[in-house]
Amino acid sequence: MKYEEWKWNDSLITSEEMVDYQHKNLFRTINDLIRACNESDTPNGLLVEVGLDELLKYATYHFKEEEQVMEKHHYPNQPNHTAMFSLIYKP
């Protein structure tokens, strides 16, 4: 099975330069992982493992940064975002 790469589009822009930059990096990291999975019928396990590790590390970093931006701007939906983030990482 081949996985489809994620496509960035302008509807995802938040107008927070740092957040948008990090979102684009998340897309790149996810797409690197997808390419590693799509390389052959039996993906290189090490490439996939390294890709997953990189993705989790970067996502954790990003979530912490994004929470700070939401606090700074008193984002009203922050509790929901924090709950969603906590499914992936523990602050």
Tens-digit pLDDT profile for residues 23-64:
999 999 999 989 888 886 666 677 788 888 999 999 999 999
Torsion of CA 71, 72, 77, 82, to 10 degrees: -30
Question: How many CB atoms are closer than 10 A to CB 66?
Answer: 21
pLDDT for position 16: 93
Residue with the larger pLDDT of the pair 35 and 90: 35
pLDDT at 82 over 70: yes
31: phi then psi, degrees, rounded to nearest 5: -70, -35
Structure confidence by residue, pLDDT tens digits, 61-79: 999 999 999 999 999 999 9
Q: What pTM does this model have?
A: 0.82
pLDDT at 88 over 80: no
pLDDT for position 23: 95
pLDDT for position 87: 84
